[in-house]
Structure 1
Amino acid sequence: MSELGRNEDASLAVREDAGGHGAKPGRLSTVAKALDLLELMAAQPREWGVTELARELGLSKSVVHGLLATLRDKDFVVGDERSRRYRLGFKAMTLGADFDLDQELRTVAMPVLKELTEQTGEASYLMVRRGIKALTIARALPATPIHLAIEEGVRVPLHAGASARVILAFSRPDVIESVIADVGLPRLAEQTITARDDLLASLADIRAKGCAYSASEMLDGVYALAAPVFGPNGMVGSLGMVGIEAAVGARHETFTTLVIDHARRLEAALGGSAG
């Protein structure tokens, strides 16, 4: 089986802080310290000063300040510039809610994905946006021994591939700008969109047509189709399918109709569309 998305966030692959205290071999001590800090702030939800946190965690103030700066950049903590005190950010408080929502979406989506895969003979999947990346939370695989698929739990850039770009097309303008500025539109395969104007034109086209396709954007020779899925409160994510370009591209019109139809069926199962 070929798996897409092997370039999942690699930022945690580097061993950090060789001088950390109590770090077990092979563990990321900086990550452990950041989690300890978040757990402390969650257990006692109030504003914290750097000195207090350093004392409670047994860390130096410089280490705590660095952790807070990173967590603040990622919206896990919020800092008051005048008081120099910190509290949990919205993202940290919604992590559990995101997990519960993903599980509910997966339960509702699986029957729709399985039927789409049965009708097309190709892998299908549901993606949602998490920050400035897309996350696969459900998939259905064909019975054939060799097929392409996107692995569950893998986060991919929002500018490349049909399903991710559908999500970006229906995201807020500030999200689009963050992807362009922060991610930088790196080339992942031969046809990856890497220019701002080309990306904006593609997003406008997706909004006009209500669907997207991609060829050799995430991986050379791979073809994908996707449509947005809306719920009562707005966009939920995207429903898509993926396969070998020579096979899927030849049935583009038929498969596009099936993807859109199944996206609408998933919307109905979720209680209606706000799109």
Structure 2
Amino acid sequence: MSGTANTQALERALTILEALAGEKEGLGLNEVARRVGLHKSTVYRLLQTFKEYGYVEREADHGKYRLGLKILELSGQILDRIDVRTIAHPFLEELAAKSNEVAHLVIPDGDEAVYIDKVEGNRTIRMHSQIGRRVPLHSTAVGKAILAYLTWPEVQDLLARKGLPRFTARTITEWTELAKELEGIRQRGYAVDNGENEEGIRCVGAPIFDYQNRVVAALSISGSEVHVTEERIPELGGLVRWAGREISRRLGFRGGDA
């Protein structure tokens, strides 16, 4: 078979997969042929080949074809290789530039979060954050952004070992207050650390979701309370929520809340 013929056969095969991808309930042979503009016999041969390799399944009861689990296996392998830090870094740079504050990226690890990236803003403030440092979940904006998208039993199980220790006078130390706080975060789409982890430091954070709709990371804008004022919280909340949503989409998230 010539190179042109090979290319044409591949193009035909891809149009069939794309047609099936848009139909959750599947398509019959005649419908596939009509959609892709090919003769029924050609479509049948290609579908049989896809079926043999697991890329297409045929429903026994109504005879419709739909994408097979092999497609899911391949897409999962691709998505698992995606590095959230690589994707998020340009957004951290944009957040730092727009806010003049420090932008952070964390991932959850047990009952803590770990800083995996940081971009400094134009201001020079003293912060304890550094890549690799661990922080609590209940007293940080990034941590609360993660907790807000777990079930309440998951939150309690996760924090049971250490409880809700106090770090400043503003730290949430009561379970009922934390539950109320997490509900507010889900409604707003962003979390606020109002000097709850470090005296004089205010942070605004948002969650990041993956293709399985799991919260896998969070990002934040952090700065001195002198600069990150309460009046700026809605503006900064909008920025981190936007960045979290865009990063989530690049990770394959298709939900409506990110």
TM range, smaller chain: 0.5 to 0.7
Determine the structure 1 residue equivalent to 2:143.
164
TM-score, normalization by structure 1? 0.59
What is the identity, as a one-letter code, of the residue corresponding to 1:186?
A: P
Query: What 5-or-longer segments of structure 2 have no aligned partner?
Result: 1-79
Letter in 1 for 2:243: H
Change (3 A) 1:189 1:224: same
Q: Distance in 1 between matches of 2:208 and 2:216?
A: 6
Deviation at 1:248, TM superposition (A): 0.8
Is 2:186 the counterpart of 1:210?
no
Please tell me the root mean square deviation across aligned C-alpha atoms, in Å: 2.2
Amino acid of the structure 1 residue aligned with 2:209? F
Alpha-carbon distance, 1:144 to partner: 3.8
Q: 2:107 aligns with which of 128, 146, 155?
A: 128
Q: Distance in 1 between matches of 2:81 and 2:110?
A: 14
Task: Find the structure with the greater CA-based Rg.
Answer: 2
Pairing 1:152–2:131 present:
yes
**Following TM superposition, by how much is the alpha carbon of 1:156 offset from its aligned partner in structure 2, in angstroms?**
1.4
Q: Please give the residue correspondences for 1:164-203 in structure 2 after superposition, counting only pairs within 5 Å.
A: 164-203=143-182
From 216, 224, 227, the counterpart of 1:244: 224
1:89-100 to structure 2, matched below 5 A, reads none
- TM-score with structure 2 length normalisation? 0.63
> d(CA) in 2 for partners of 1:197 and 1:272?
30
Q: Kindly indicate whether the alpha-carbon contact (under 8 Å) linking 1:122 and 1:147 is maintained by their aligned counterparts in 2.
A: no
Q: Which residue of 1 aligns with 2:10?
A: none
Question: Equivalent residues in 2 for 1:57-96 (5 A)?
Answer: none
User: Is 1:258 aligned with 2:239?
Assistant: yes
1:126 & 1:194 partners in 2: Cα distance? 25
CA distance, structure 1, for counterparts of residue 248 and residue 162 of structure 2: 30
Is the 1:222–1:244 Cα contact (8 Å) retained in structure 2? yes
SS, match of residue 228 in structure 2? helix
After TM superposition, give the deviation of residue 178 of structure 1 in Å: 2.1
**2:19 is matched with which residue?**
none
Alignment size in residue pairs? 176
Task: Among all aligned residue pairs of Structure 1 and Structure 2, give the percentage whose two residues are the same amino acid.
Answer: 30
> Is the 2:101–2:122 contact (alpha carbons within 8 Å) kept by the matching residues of 1?
no
Write the deviation string for residues 4-41 of structure 1: whole angstroms up to 9, x where unpaired. xxxxxxxxxxxxxxxxxxxxxxxxxxxxxxxxxxxxxx
Structure 2 residue 184 is matched with structure 1 residue 220? no
- Equivalent in 247, 253, 256 of residue 272 of structure 1: 253
Which blocks of at least 5 consecutive residues in structure 1 are unaligned? 1-100
Shift of 1:117: 0.4
Output the CA distance in 1 between the equivalents of 2:124 and 2:204: 22
Q: 8 Å contact 1:125–1:139 — kept in the other structure? A: yes
